[in-house]
Amino acid sequence: MIQSNATAGIVFCESTNLSLVNSTIARNDGYGVQLGNTERERCAGRFKIAREGEIEGYGNTIPGPGDPDGNSLGGICPPGFQFLAEAGAETGP
């Protein structure tokens, strides 16, 4: 479990290799999982996802602000990585 951080639970960059399976990322003051590491980069929609890294995962619990254990700013940023919280294995984007 990754929880109660003053910022995001997990922050990754464009060339990251990340495998996240059956984890809980909750109660963080930022996003649960976030691409980019500065306030300006957060969910700005300006990212060109580099094909250098691979992001894969499934079965994770990454709640947003509407959940009692939710991450304050949202579950996953940007939304293209929602597959991390879905049931089946996937690699993206």
Question: So where are the chain's domains?
Answer: 2-88
The pTM for the full model equals 0.78
In the chain the beta strands, taken as DSSP E runs, fall at 2-3, 10-12, 17-21, 25-26, 31-35, 54-58, 74-77, 90-92
Residue 7 has pLDDT above 90, yes or no: no
7-21, 23-37, 76-90: the lowest-pLDDT one: 76-90
Provide mean pLDDT across the span 9-38.
85
pLDDT tens per residue, range 25-77 = 999 999 999 887 654 455 544 444 444 567 888 899 999 999 999 999 999 98
